[in-house]
């Protein structure tokens, strides 16, 4: 399966893809329509390998330096560049609770909005 994705990514050379038909491998079910690839699948083959290596190394930049033979800043820059392509994950920090409560007290936000902020939504 991994080889299939690698070959597909290599053939398309970074062109945008949509999926038009999906078949569940163990069932007799086929779904037709237009579906986008998951964001990680839209990364270049090299970036997909880099992300997989980063996960396999448990996020150890030191191991990544050794594996790829590059410096810490190079690893960080590449992670930042890849991260910019993965906007489906919001990593904005949740404001401290006392800030949210002050905004609520001043009437800047509703109780529901305050609860959503504190829940990280």
Res 4: pLDDT:
67
Query: Above 80 in pLDDT, residue 10?
Result: no
Report the chain's terminal Cα–Cα distance, integer Å.
35
Residue 61's contacts (CB-CB under 8 Å, 6 or more residues apart) are: 72, 75, 76
Q: How far apart are CA 101 and CA 118, in angstroms?
A: 10
The whole model's pTM is what? 0.59
Q: What is the pLDDT of residues 78-96, one digit of tens each?
A: 999 998 888 766 666 666 7
Burial class (CB in 10 A: 0-12, 13-18, 19+), 79: middle
Per-residue pLDDT reduced to its tens digit, 27-75: 889 999 988 888 888 888 889 999 999 999 999 999 999 999 999 999 9
Is pLDDT at 109 greater than 70 in this prediction? yes
């Amino acid at each position: 399966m991994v080889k299939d994705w690698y070959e597909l990514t290599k053939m398309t050379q970074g062109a945008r893809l949509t999926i038009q038909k999906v078949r569940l491998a163990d069932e007799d079910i086929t779904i037709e329509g237009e579906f986008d690839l998951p964001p990680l699948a839209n990364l270049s083959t090299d970036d997909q390998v880099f992300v997989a290596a980063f996960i396999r190394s448990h996020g150890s930049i030191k191991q990544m330096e050794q594996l790829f033979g590059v410096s810490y800043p190079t690893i960080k820059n590449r992670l930042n560049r890849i991260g910019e392509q993965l906007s489906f994950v919001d990593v904005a920090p949740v404001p401290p609770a006392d800030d949210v409560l002050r905004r609520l007290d001043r009437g800047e936000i509703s109780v529901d909005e305050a609860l959503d902020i504190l829940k990280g939504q």
